[in-house]
């Protein structure tokens, strides 16, 4: 659609700009401010320049949680994207079954994140939880509060439970956009179900999959509440992801300077990803028109 140039449109955008600026720019400036100062208490602070940045780049704990974070995010993508596509392909196309499965799918997405943590905390316990008890009685030695591999897998399983629905919903609406005539043509050609998937469904899904991958990557990159409730970051630091490490530094130990400096680096990583996301989507919109 061709848009008319009109700078008066700024007046329509102004309220949004002011509101978001209040909640985004001021805190961001505060973080920048912290990151270049050494703060003892409310009134004593020294300017230290880039010292914190140098320090945190050497910090073993932060580097570890950054790697753990990347590992987790990639594991999340590797499971949720194929599973989401699979679920979307199996969903009924119309009727009450379609409505019911849509609503059931959306259910985990509507639960407050700490309740998601609580649900899995209860569900995975060996003594009172169905999942933990079931595994134990099958002879699997499973205990997410003591074993770090179990804890990591439980957090991963929880995230799969929580967010695969998002991927599935996106793919489902992508699939609905395919005209029925394509399938009829495929039937006449006696196409196998694999080639229907490969040559009809997959190309149509590309657009929504880009959105799904980027949203899932970014959101799993910021994960905080769910593992915090489920494992508290432990045992040891096996499930302490990046946000939690930062929150511990800033609020727990009051190491404001290093926490702020690393927050900014974290924010830059996310910003880079958002930019990627934004350009991909605008390109997609352009291709469409």
Partner 1 sequence: MSIIREKGSKRKALGLIAYMVFVLLPIYWLLNMSFKTNEEILSGLTLWPNDFTFDNYITIFTDASWYMGYVNSMTYVAMNMVITLLVALPAAYAFSRYKFVGDKHLFFWLLSNRMAPPAVFLLPFFQLYSSVGLFDTHLAVALAHCLFSIPLAVWILEGFMSGVPREIDETAYIDGYSFSRFFITIFIPMIRSGIGVTAFFSFMFSWVELLLARTLTSVEAKPISAIMTRTVGATGIDWGVLAAAGVLTIIPGVLVIWFVRNHVAKGFALGRV
Subset of residues 180 to 239 that bind partner 1, contact rule: CB under 8 A: 193, 207-208, 211, 215, 218, 221-222, 224-225
Query: Is 140 an interacting residue with respect to partner 1 (CB under 8 A)?
Result: no
The set of residues, in sequence order, having a beta carbon less than 8 Å from that of 93 and lying 6+ positions away, is 176
* Backbone conformation region of residue 100, classed left if phi is above 0, alpha if psi is from -120 to 50, else beta: alpha
Residue of 48, 122, 186, 213 that binds partner 1 (CB under 8 A) = 122
What's the closest the beta carbon of residue 120 comes to partner 1, in angstroms?
Answer: 6
Nearest to 213 by CA among 66, 70, 74: 74
The contact pattern for partner 1, residues 144-173, with x = CB under 8 A and - = no contact, is -----------------x---xx--xx-xx
What's the closest the beta carbon of residue 80 comes to partner 1, in angstroms?
Answer: 12
- CA–CA gap between residue 289 and residue 284 (Å, rounded): 9
User: Exposure pattern of 46-71 as b/e (b: 16+ CB <10 Å)?
Assistant: eebeebbbebbeebeebeebbebbee
What one-character DSSP code corresponds to residue 110?
A: G
Residue of 91, 151, 156, 261 that binds partner 1 (CB under 8 A) = 91
What's the closest the beta carbon of residue 207 comes to partner 1, in angstroms?
Answer: 8
Q: Which is nearer to partner 1, 30 or 54 (CB)?
A: 30
What's the closest the beta carbon of residue 208 comes to partner 1, in angstroms?
Answer: 6
Nearest to 158 by CA among 206, 118, 129: 118
- CA–CA gap between residue 198 and residue 143 (Å, rounded): 41
Query: Is 94 an interacting residue with respect to partner 1 (CB under 8 A)?
Result: no
Q: Which is nearer to partner 1, 142 or 172 (CB)?
A: 172
Query: Is 20 an interacting residue with respect to partner 1 (CB under 8 A)?
Result: yes
């Amino acid at each position: 659609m061709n848009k008319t140039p009109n700078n008066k449109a700024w007046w329509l955008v102004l309220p949004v700009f002011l509101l978001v600026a209040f909640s985004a720019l001021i805190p961001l400036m505060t973080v920048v401010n912290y990151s270049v100062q050494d703060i003892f208490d409310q009134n004593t602070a020294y300017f230290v320049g880039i010292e914190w940045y140098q320090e945190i780049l050497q910090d073993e704990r932060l580097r570890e949680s950054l790697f753990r974070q990347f590992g987790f995010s990639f594991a999340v993508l590797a499971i949720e994207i194929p599973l989401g596509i699979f679920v979307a392909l199996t969903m009924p196309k119309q009727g009450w079954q379609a409505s019911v499965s849509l609503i059931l799918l959306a259910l985990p997405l509507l639960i407050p994140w700490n309740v998601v943590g609580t649900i899995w905390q209860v569900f995975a316990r060996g003594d009172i939880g169905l999942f933990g008890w079931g595994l134990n009685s099958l002879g699997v030695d499973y205990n997410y509060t003591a074993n770090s591999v179990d804890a990591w897998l439980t957090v991963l399983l929880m995230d799969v439970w929580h967010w695969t629905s998002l991927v599935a919903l996106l793919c489902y609406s992508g699939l609905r956009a395919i005209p029925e005539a394509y399938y009829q043509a495929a039937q006449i050609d006696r196409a196998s179900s694999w080639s229907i998937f490969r040559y009809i469904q997959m190309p149509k899904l590309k657009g929504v999959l880009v959105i799904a991958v980027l949203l899932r990557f970014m959101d799993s990159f910021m994960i905080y509440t769910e593992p915090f409730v489920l494992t508290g970051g432990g045992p040891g630091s096996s499930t302490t992801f990046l946000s939690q490490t930062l929150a511990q530094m800033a609020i727990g130990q009051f190491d404001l300077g290093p926490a702020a400096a690393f927050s900014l680096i974290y924010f830059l990583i996310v910003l880079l990803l958002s930019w990627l996301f934004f350009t991909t989507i605008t390109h997609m919109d352009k291709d469409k028109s």
